[in-house]
Amino acid sequence: MKIVYTVAGEGMGHAARAHAVIEALANNHDITIFAGDTSYLYLKKVFPKVFPLSCLRIAYHQNTALSITTILFNVLRFPAYLWSLTKMIKKLNKIKPDMMIDDFSMMGSYASLLMGISMLTIDNQHTISLVKDIPKKYAFDHAMSKLVVSLVVPHARKNMITSFFPLKTRKNQILLAPLLRKEIRNLQSKKGDHLLVYQTSQTNENLIKYLKLLDIPCYVYGFHKNKREKNIFFKKEHQQFLQDLSSAKAVIINGGFNVLTEALYLQKPILSIPVRHQFEQVLNAIQLEKLGCGMFVEKIDEKTIPAFLEKLPEYEEKIKSLNLDYEGAFDRIKNVLASWKK
């Protein structure tokens, strides 16, 4: 089957998930990839047919997603998005795909809609539209995020939704375990003495201040520098990231789905400090704490990390009891494609 796979470019989560899926499908399908920003830079090193695609971006400051700035920035980039969509449609006319698979790429969704190409979505963002019983203080962010999901993905023939927590799906929706790269699934987890810290943006300076109060090493990714400050080892390059993750004592992250689920797979307790006003991350942190696999805090202080470290044995036991069918998730995608018709 001839497949066009479109991938959002904000962060590394979309790229990592797409990598895992494409790797599983590549032997039996002809796949062309359109990816934005970070995803394009990552995927073009792994697969042969990868084209750049403009994608929506989020503005951050002090570990907060800035709604107005994000809207203005993306409005100003609208001509670039339109041009990118036009170029993509021209390529699609030459490729003539049997179907499209989309991982939360607005350009891919609208190209599919405009050209009448059947589309399958594989993402975790659709959990936002399904989840209920959200605390009232997050009601506005939840409503706005549901609106964004419906605008970014206005239609699909079928939604395959990755999640680490249970959800009730609707018609034409299938719930999957997180889709992890082979590099993650092949890792052997061991418990070291360091904390692995990964941040979506490099604006959470308060976290660094409190990490320096600890007497254990902290390997910090996401601040785009190689430097040592006391017990903190900033790492710009990601070559050692998987080794540092697999051997970590515990993990401190925002609330991004990809690193969170990789950490759970490797049985690492998680302290989640979501980017404020980024509801997807808040949702992941809420569910993480509900499962008993980690701690969710909105703001960090000097007591937060010590309190988290004291409860590591409790979190480790809960993580061991998770029953997620990681390998079976790929088989379910293959079965859907096997039954797919134009």
Domains and CATH numbers, the chain: 2-178+325-338 (3.40.50.2000), 183-320 (3.40.50.2000)
B/e letters for 151-172, b = 16+ CB within 10 Å, e = fewer, are ebbeebeebbbbbbbebeeeee
pLDDT value of residue 342: 64
Q: Write out pLDDT tens, residues 219-255.
A: 999 888 899 999 999 998 777 999 999 999 999 999 9
The per-residue pLDDT for 76 is 63
Distance between CA atoms of 290 and 215, rounded to whole angstroms?
Answer: 29
Return the structure tokens found at 285. 């942190």
**Can you tell me the distance from the alpha carbon of 116 to that of 88, in angstroms, rounded to the nearest whole number?**
14
pLDDT for the residue numbered 206: 84
- pLDDT over 80 at 111, yes or no: yes
What's the mean pLDDT in 65-85?
Answer: 63
Q: Please report the pLDDT score of residue 54 as a whole number.
A: 72
pLDDT tens, position by position, 27-64: 999 999 999 888 999 999 999 999 988 766 655 555 55
As a whole number, mean pLDDT of residues 314-327 equals 95
DSSP state of 197: E
Predicted structure pTM score: 0.89
More confident residue, 77 or 106: 106
pLDDT surpassing 80 at residue 84: no
Residue 65 has pLDDT above 60, yes or no: no
**What pLDDT was estimated at residue 331?**
96
